[in-house]
Structure 1
Amino acid sequence: MKKITVVGTGYVGLVTGVALAEIGHHVVCLDKDVEKVELMCSGISPIYEAGLEGYLAHHLRTERLEFTTDPAVAIDGAELVFIAVGTPELADGSADLSYLREACMTVAEYLSGPATIVIKSTVPVGTNDLIEQLINEHALYPISVVSNPEFLREGQALYDTFQAERIVIGSENKATGELLQEVYAPLARPVFHTDRRSAELIKYASNAFLATKISFINEMAALCDQLGANVDDVAWGMGMDTRIGHSFLKAGAGYGGSCFPKDTKALVQIAKEVEHDFQLMKAVIDINDFQRHRILKWMKDHYTNMRGLRIAVLGLSFKPNTDDIREAPSLKLIEALIECGADVVAYDPAAIPNAKEVLAERICYAYSVEEAIEKADGCLIMTEWNEIKETPIEVYHYLMEHAVVFDGRNCYSLEDAKRAGVMYYSVGRNYASRRSGDGVKGKD
């Protein structure tokens, strides 16, 4: 068992701390947010993640997991320090490293002996080199920096930790890399050793490739709409080729969240700094940004105007099983609906508190699918929560004022929608064949 410090208790830091405690280490998590630390000390998770709170409470009882705002308590005697602070997007698309620099200076100040610094934060290529230099210039003891990028999916983070497909360790000396491998040994997962710069780029490249698959299938969906093909069948037929695979070939409203939008833009900026024009990644970003306009076009084509119409929005989080609304396509479409004069009522199983911080009282909030769609003139589905997918489509027919569903996640089959008497718009499934201008008129 090793004494480990985790600096930062955001999504990555908290999951990392809990997981390391679960596999037998003594972990102290450090955060500046007093209210958040008090919450975690009482066994309550500040983030929505299935199963996390149970592990959190358990390891508080075992005393293998602690939380503090005191860097002296957290860092003194630590053999390894994991840094998992945010690297948000700057105006030019590059990563803001100010939180990382601050964390590193704190570590340098309070280290009481030689240590290994493990960078979990997503950082531009070469950052770990600079971090090692920075800490060694200010610390009283020698340190080594290891790049250890995370590959966690929100909503499945614990599974992705305990059943990781790979653990990437980027180090400049063999002993340091082997030390981190020893820390992770109880997981018994595949480990890939490389240099620090390659490890940093693996993180960006992985997210960029997945974003590319999403934008590609959304472009194919637009083509399917014009040609009368079904994108679900096209994607399935493609994915049967093992070189392609089925994952991330799901047409929809586009990607969002804290990683894909930020990391794709950062990769473009990283390339720009070495005078490489990353044209493919620019196209991926443009396609994703335009996807919501395609969905809005369905609605503008269907209605003469939307002023005064009640529009239900189902799903606010950028994906199911999380309350994260960062870069969620739903928010951008809701803003557009408000501009069109629609009265929006939204429902999400987890994300309403976060959405209220952004949208405030400009829309109404419902607390079930049925409440949201009752007497609605139209319904926009933006997140494929199981609760939404499992709602029989006949419910829309019976509860809505006008049974018109604009499905940005393809939750229902065309056959079921037709049988239920619902006018149903979906992504890449023959939109061009639908009539336009025959919907409910707005209230002037």
Structure 2
Amino acid sequence: MKKGTSAAAARFLRTAKLCRIRDVEQLLAVSALVRDLSALIHALQKERGASSIYLGSGGTRFAEDRARWQADARTLESVLRDRLDLVDEQLDRLSCGAQFYSRAAIALYALDGLPALRDQVSSLALVPQDSVKAFTDIVGHLLSVLFEAADIAADPAISRALVALFNVVQGKEFAGQERATASAGFSRGRFDGVEHGRLAHLIDAQNRAFRIFAEFADPAHAAAFRTALTDPSVAEVERMRAVALSDDARHGELSGITPEVWFDRSTRRMELLKTVEDRLTDDLRRLCEAKLAHARADLGQADAGGPDAVLPVAMMLVDAGAALSGFTGPVSTAPGQDGAGLYAPDGLPPKLMRSVLDVMQAQSQRLRDVSLELETAKAALNERKVIDRAKGLLMSTRNLSEEEAYKLIRKTAMNQNKRIVEVAEAILSMSDILRGVTAGTGGGGTAGG
């Protein structure tokens, strides 16, 4: 009986090791996908910023830069599409689940809309705010794929590396949104209260992401990040931020800062962040390769007589401390938690192991509801309907062509620094007044006695 039991234990132990190899092989495929996602996101961030200046300047600035970065993004998009086809063959669909494939499908649909978006920018059919939002939505879908891919990680060291990487990518995306938002203001020659609020929010979001990165990064990566921030361009960005956020900026006092100078310095800062991101990506791949080599070497060497021959990847958490709410602030544990009763292999401190699991689970939960994407699509459709109704109202009340009506709405949006749909909603809210004025004019009557 004892012999049979030992044989069964050895068989299960060998199966566990084979599963471990499969898991790390999938993570190696994911690391390649992360690299290609990162590259395309970076290219789209550049194109977004250039498009914002192009639109803000009425097409007089950054036309050549925009064309160059468009070409780069097209090339990298093709690389990513090929990678997704390859990853689909390499990943275990049962372990990845529907969410990864749903996110990938949504991202590919979003990328399919890029040509139309670029045509609208080229024809100056958008205001900068609408262009920034459209590009940001696409980047957001790509980031969702990145996280869903990362969420299959079943190794604590790799999970920690992925959390650090994800937050650098996320922080850099907020920096890219800041670059595009401020580019539009510097191109227009002034900032308003709405832009001040958005810039302040984006700066705060960057700081939060980078604080979380610092919690999970190993010392070498944290040191590389700190070194990157000592570059003079970072101090220049801080100075120009202060100008953009000042009260004087609302009246056009921008201390001689041009959109080209802002874009150059903020791009330099983002390139520095990209070097940290690239290092994290390369080291993630090397970590996966080392883990895979170790797992293969370990195969067949299990000691059927010992329960510690294979360490389970999932941790047994017996301490019920407060969990994190997700990527919203610095990592912490409840007072008095010392990790007692917590089993964490690979030398990972109990506090950090708990944080890794909590953060990954909380962020995953926030990204799981695909219905959010459907709501986004419905919102976009409703915006289109609102704009069309506003055009129809202007056409009927002011005897304009459809093109003239749209140009009027767009010009008003540019002048008031609002999104086109906001202007369209304002026009519709005045529909009774507009129709009344038209009727009064057409009847030749006068008001009053």
Band of TM-score, shorter chain: under 0.3
TM-score (norm 1): 0.27
Q: Which structure shows the bigger proportion of residues in strand conformation?
A: 1
Larger Rg: 2
